[in-house]
Amino acid sequence: MRTLIKGGTIVNADSMGPADVLVEGEEIALIGKDLDVPADKVIDAGGKWVIPGGIDPHTHMELPFGGTFAKDTFETGTRAAAFGGTTTIIDFAVQPRGGTFHQGLDTWHEKADGKACIDYGFHCIVSDMRDELLPEMDQLVEEGVTTFKLFTAYPGVFLSDDGAIFKALRQTATNGGMILMHAENGPVIDVVAADLVAAGTTDPIGHGLARYPVFEGEATNRVIRLAQAAGAPVYFVHMSARDALAEVRQARDEGWPIYAETCPQYLFLSLDDMGHGFEGAKFVCSPPLRTPDHAVELWKGLAVNDLQLVGTDHCPFDFHGQKEMGRGDFRKIPNGLPGVEERLDLLHDGGVVSGKISPMRFVEITSTAAARLFGLPQKGVIAAGKDADIVVYDPNRKHVLSASTHHMAVDYSCYEGRTVQGGADVVLSRGTTIVEGGEWLGRAGHGRFLRRERRGFSPITPSRVEERVPALVG
């Protein structure tokens, strides 16, 4: 099958300009001006961008959490992702407490195999960092699961103590893997949350009030220091607080290999959304939504590469029946928000259209940086020989985000009624057109498991001050 994408503007992280793209089989075969070659299918990309498919490095399909399961399956969640222009996800396989990492991975392979509509990799969630499991981390890195998420939050569920975190960091210093951290001081948060409930604050807003920004800043600082002592890089997931970003910025300025992502909810929503009585449960996630001044700093961080990328932390629970489990006690509301479908359009509208980031930086933070940091050399760029994961993106099309039109299997949208500019018109996954003009053409089982390369396949150099060039291009 040969597909010719004609007349578009190719936007990569490091360049943009007009060119045609010829796809042959699963890969990009040729890029050139006014290509005149035979093809089975021609896509008119006039007036549109041709961008690498989005890579969402942070999703939770069917995550067991808070006594229930995240609603999207690998089938519904990856289909929704594709509608939003994302062609790769990296999901989190959970080690059962008392069990091995491979047991968690086996469970996640069963969930995804034959069901995923786009390509996927796995990180491993470490629930229980026992010493005898340290060599298993090396095996996982060999098997293409190169990243391990540990938590300073969620006591009794996922929390690891500092010694365990240090040992895991030390292991990745030598095996080429990387630790991902959920950095909030969980035990202290639990004290404040109990005080709030005792004083009668049981509504969802209590979730946001209990999790002070400084608790994220403190945990981020602590983990950076542990990583420095271990000689390991570290990546902070779902960063929400300016306090935490300040720690990352300082460490990067000093030259340490410290990385961080933020999520659309921390850029576009705020603590106010958690008010309004129990409706606020729709916005309960951890870390929580912050006051708008935090978002201002996060946008700055994205523009100058203090933050390397945006993942969604997609973890959808229905309002009815699932979020409602926490009526009368905000601590029982399952934590997590839907968002895998909306990431590109929100960032295009709120980032590019509003002039905060350039089109190339948009591609970098939605695709290219994740390919580089997470060992996916075939992804994240429009170039000959790379996987033909391609989005024909209309930067002018306006549409309204709503639960009545989205494809995620969840009964609300965090962005209900919001108009955004920009949308994926055609989506190719390894050369196959899976979305065109709002129609689903893909299939469950098309997606393949991606064995990821270890850190160093393309060197992750320690950041330098001069690397932090302003990404804002006229």
Q: What is the total count of residues that contact ligand URP (CB under 6 A)?
A: 9
Q: Which residue type does 469 have?
A: V
**Measured from the CB atom, is 180 or 360 closer to ligand URP?**
180
Q: Which of 130, 131, 122, 126 is nearest to 157 (CA)?
A: 126
**Measured from the CB atom, is 71 or 238 closer to ligand URP?**
238
Please state the closest distance from residue 74 (CB atom) to Zn ion, in A. Answer: 16
Partner in contact with 285, chosen from Zn ion, ligand URP, none, beta carbon below 5 to 8 Å by kind: ligand URP
Q: Where are the alpha helices (DSSP H) in 176-306?
A: 186-198, 205-210, 213-230, 242-253, 264-268, 292-303
Report the 10 Å Cβ neighbour count for 413. 22
Under rule CB under 6 A, residue 282 binds ligand URP: no
Under rule CB under 6 A, residue 211 binds ligand URP: no
Under rule CB under 6 A, residue 372 binds ligand URP: no
Under rule CB under 6 A, residue 343 binds ligand URP: no
Partner in contact with 336, chosen from ligand URP, Zn ion, none, beta carbon below 5 to 8 Å by kind: ligand URP
Name the percent of the chain in helix, strand, coil, to the closest 5: 35, 25, 45
> What is the token pair recorded at 203?
């509504």
Which residue's entry shows tokens 């991902």? 180
Under rule CB under 6 A, residue 315 binds ligand URP: yes
**Burial classification of residue 69, based on how many CB atoms lie within 10 Å of its CB (0-12 exposed, 13-18 middle, 19 or more buried):** middle
**Measured from the CB atom, is 237 or 428 closer to ligand URP?**
237
Please state the closest distance from residue 72 (CB atom) to ligand URP, in A. Answer: 12
Q: What's the rounded Cα separation, in Å, for the pair 42 and 227?
A: 50
Give the three-state DSSP class for 270. Answer: coil
Backbone angles phi, psi at 44, to 5 degrees: -85, 110
Contact 118, 87 (CB under 8 A): yes
Q: Which of 175, 214, 212, 168 is nearest to 192 (CA)?
A: 212
> What is the token pair recorded at 437?
């003009």
Binding to ligand URP in span 212-271, by CB under 6 A: 238
Under rule CB under 6 A, residue 182 binds ligand URP: yes
Binding residues for Zn ion, rule: CB under 5 A, are 182, 313
**Measured from the CB atom, is 6 or 211 closer to ligand URP?**
211
Q: How would you classify residue 176: left for phi > 0, otherwise alpha for psi between -120 and 50, otherwise beta?
A: left
Under rule CB under 6 A, residue 326 binds ligand URP: no
HSE value, Cβ hemisphere, 13 Å, CA-based, for 298 = 29
Site map 13..52 versus ligand URP, x via CB under 6 A:
----------------------------------------
Under rule CB under 6 A, residue 371 binds ligand URP: no
List 240, 286, 358, 368, residue binding ligand URP (CB under 6 A): 286
Residue closest to ligand URP, measured at CB: 335
**Measured from the CB atom, is 297 or 313 closer to Zn ion?**
313
Q: Which of 194, 205, 216 is nearest to 284 (CA)?
A: 205
Residue closest to Zn ion, measured at CB: 182
Binding to ligand URP in span 106-145, by CB under 6 A: none
Distances (CA, A) of 452 to 37, 61, 177, 420: 34, 19, 10, 33
Partner in contact with 335, chosen from Zn ion, ligand URP, none, beta carbon below 5 to 8 Å by kind: ligand URP
Under rule CB under 6 A, residue 180 binds ligand URP: no
Under rule CB under 6 A, residue 313 binds ligand URP: yes
Binding to ligand URP in span 396-455, by CB under 6 A: none
Under rule CB under 6 A, residue 335 binds ligand URP: yes
Q: Which residues bind ligand URP (CB under 6 A)?
A: 60, 182, 238, 285-286, 313, 315, 335-336
